[in-house]
Amino acid sequence: MRIKWYIVWLFLVVSIAAGATDAETYYRQGRELREANQPVAAMEAFIAATRVPSDEYSYKGRSFSNMATMCRMGERHALAYTLYEKSAEQFAKANDSLAYAYALNNMAWEQAVMGHKDTAMVLIKDALAACATEEVKEKIKESQIAAYLYAEEYDSVLMATQIYPMESAYFAILRAQAFTFLEQKDSAVFYAQQVLEMTDNPRYLDDVYYILVHCDSAANADAIRALASTRSDLQQTLERNNAEWIEAMLLAEKSLISTKSPMKWGQLIVFTLLCLAAFALVAYLLLGLHKTAESAVDPLALNALEERCVLLRRSAQVRTDLQWYDYHLFSKACNTQLSGIVRKLEQRGLSEREIRICVLVLIGFSYAEMADILYRAENGIGKDKYMIAKHLGVRAKDLRNELQRIACDE
């Protein structure tokens, strides 16, 4: 028994030590570093999350998705598509249909940006099939219109934005871009200004800056640049090709080529200990298989026993039914009705008082009911039950299951 607990404790300690570098920890580190405008360190953390040898598919999927988003910001759309594809694989393993649908939609958006409208439409259809919630549908509308925009079907963009009249910054920027490419500058500037009224998100302001410059609206373009001088996040978006972002995207690209990374000494030691603990646990379980086989209960015998227990539990004359006041008659009645339970418990060295409690436990009476039948206090019965369970080598809460096994054991 002591050896068993040593093995369990060893396994728990090693698992806790291994959990210090799990996928969730790396993912959260990556998010913090990304918010702190440290793209290289953030990318390293996300890559580490995807390489942890565990089944934390959800956090691995989120890490791939964040890597893809960073590459999208750097206009590396083919790389972003591959990383979103990796995130979709992880979300599928996690059975997270909502996240999987979002990943497919992101893949569709990247295909749209690259001008592959037909592929984008197929992915959009797959995303709807995976999870057709309202929030997914809203995102899919954006990808669908983006597919028309990048396929240079500008009339389709304007028609779609009329069919889906959404008051969002993204729809406004799509309209502005369509009017820009149709050389309808007044309408383009009008919708670009609408975007400015709705948000100061760098994702949109970068596009607004391009539209205003293209439409010779220099004053408004200067206002965007003035805003950028006070906003490091916007400045970073307007100047995507800085050295740190390029390095971060190169790391993402290399991570797809080299899926294995050398372990640090600490990780190697933890991994080795974890393997040893797992081996010890498996060995213990294998050694205990013969006990499991011996303790298997015949389902037919168990059903028959349970039926008899139900009848006795419902009986208002259980004392009379089991000849409660004469132990000799009591044991004979219980052996007949409850598969020889008294004889089997006597062989295990239990006293008459303990056997009576075992019979009541087997039948399924509560503490209060047992106290009424035995004319005793409930806490005293609880103590007896604990000692009986200890004598039989089981936990008190498993006592009834053990008694059923004893009764059905031939």
* pLDDT tens-digit series, residues 135-171: 888 888 888 888 888 888 888 888 877 777 667 777 7
- What confidence tens digit (pLDDT) does each residue in 194-225 have? 887 787 776 677 777 777 777 766 656 666 66
pLDDT at residue 1, as a whole number: 44
Q: How far apart are CA 49 and CA 288, in angstroms?
A: 36
pLDDT at residue 223, as a whole number: 64
Instruction: Tell me which long-range contacts 249-255 makes (C-beta under 8 A, separation of at least 24).
Output: 249/43, 249/70, 249/71, 249/74, 249/76, 249/79, 251/40, 251/43, 251/44, 251/47, 252/43, 252/47, 252/67, 252/70, 252/71, 252/79, 252/83, 253/76, 253/79, 255/47, 255/50, 255/67
Q: How far apart are CA 245 and CA 239, in angstroms?
A: 10
**CA angle centred on 149, ends 148 and 150, rounded to 5°:** 95
The residue type of 88 is A
pLDDT at residue 222, as a whole number: 66
Tokens of 222: 């200067």
- What confidence tens digit (pLDDT) does each residue in 308-338 have? 888 888 877 777 778 887 888 888 988 888 8
pLDDT at residue 315, as a whole number: 78
CA-based nearest residue to 267, from 12, 21, 45:
21
pLDDT at residue 64, as a whole number: 94
pLDDT at residue 157, as a whole number: 80
Q: How far apart are CA 223 and CA 209, in angstroms?
A: 9
pLDDT at residue 242, as a whole number: 66
Q: Could you read off the pLDDT tens digit of each residue along the chain, which spans 410 residues?
A: 444 445 544 554 445 444 446 889 999 999 999 888 888 899 999 999 999 888 899 999 999 999 998 888 777 889 999 999 999 999 999 999 999 999 999 999 899 888 898 998 999 899 888 888 888 888 888 888 888 888 888 888 888 777 776 677 777 888 888 888 888 888 888 888 788 778 777 667 777 777 777 776 665 666 666 655 555 555 555 455 467 878 888 888 888 875 544 445 555 676 777 778 777 777 666 655 444 444 567 788 888 888 888 888 887 777 777 888 788 888 898 888 888 999 999 999 999 889 989 999 999 888 888 888 888 888 888 888 889 999 999 988 889 999 999 998 86
- Rounded alpha-carbon distances, angstroms, from residue 334 to 91, 163, 409, 410: 56, 78, 15, 16
Q: How far apart are CA 320 and CA 299, in angstroms?
A: 29
Q: How far apart are CA 173 and CA 20, in angstroms?
A: 44
Tokens of 307: 């039926």
Which residues have CB under 8 Å from 130's CB, separation 6+? 97, 100, 101, 104
Task: Please answer whether residues 174 and 208 qualify as being in contact, where contact means their C-beta atoms are separated by less than 8 angstroms.
Answer: no
Rounded to 5 degrees, what are φ and ψ at 89?
-60, -40
